[in-house]
Amino acid sequence: MMPPPDRPADDDSDDAALFRAAIGDVRRLPDAAPPPAGPKPRPRARMAERDEAQAREEFRHALEDSLLEAGDALSYRRDELPPRVFARLRRGEISAQEELDLHGSDVREAEQLLRAFLHDAREHGLGCVRLIHGKGRSGSGGDYVDSRGVPVLKNLVDRMLRQRADILAFHSAPPAQGGTGAVLVLLAPRRR
């Protein structure tokens, strides 16, 4: 076969006609399907969400119903702690190795300080610590009460300590060690 002779550039229409004649009849391909849509959202368990919200609300109301007053003693003991050890803690016979004074702290700061303090105490192998939360009698120095006259820091400390798995027991300190304005906390030994 011989190569086609050189043609002038304005002969492009002949090339298109030759191409169509060589190919023959063509039919249009169907349009490509659109890309798949993103996955559908997972179904929500609306009843479970409502149940959880209701449980949170009931828990909040239960906490509000059990708020401590200024003179009330904080007291908590896990079942695995022998009663005689708890009695020693209650009498102040177990000495605190460190202490944290929360006076002058607002609720958010007090919560952060308390979490960090308990974490450090546990990391350093301390067995007993004292937390000074105040009695909530004065309006100054962070030892404040809420609109109902309830001591804010005292109730915060009580709630946080009850929720922690590393707390074996706690009780308000004897009068010589701060009375109902402080609490002695017995920490669980650190697992290695």
- Distance, in Å, from the CA atom of 64 to the CA atom of 109, rounded to the nearest integer, reads 21
Of residues 19 and 111, the one with the higher pLDDT is 111
User: At a CB cut-off of 8 Å and minimum separation 6, what does 150 contact?
Assistant: 67, 68, 69, 136
Q: Which residues, listed in sequence order, are joined to residue 182 by a DSSP beta bridge?
A: 132
Digit-coded pLDDT (tens) for 129-182: 999 998 775 544 445 666 677 788 888 899 899 989 999 999 999 998 988 889
- Distance, in Å, from the CA atom of 117 to the CA atom of 13, rounded to the nearest integer, reads 87
> 73-187: what fold?
Ribosomal Protein S8; Chain: A, domain 1 (3.30.1370)
DSSP code of 80? T
* Rg of the chain taking only CA atoms, in angstroms: 37
The position carrying tokens 């401590």 is 68
pTM of the complete model beyond 0.75: no
Digit-coded pLDDT (tens) for 2-13: 545 555 555 667
Of residues 96 and 15, the one with the higher pLDDT is 96
- Distance, in Å, from the CA atom of 183 to the CA atom of 171, rounded to the nearest integer, reads 5
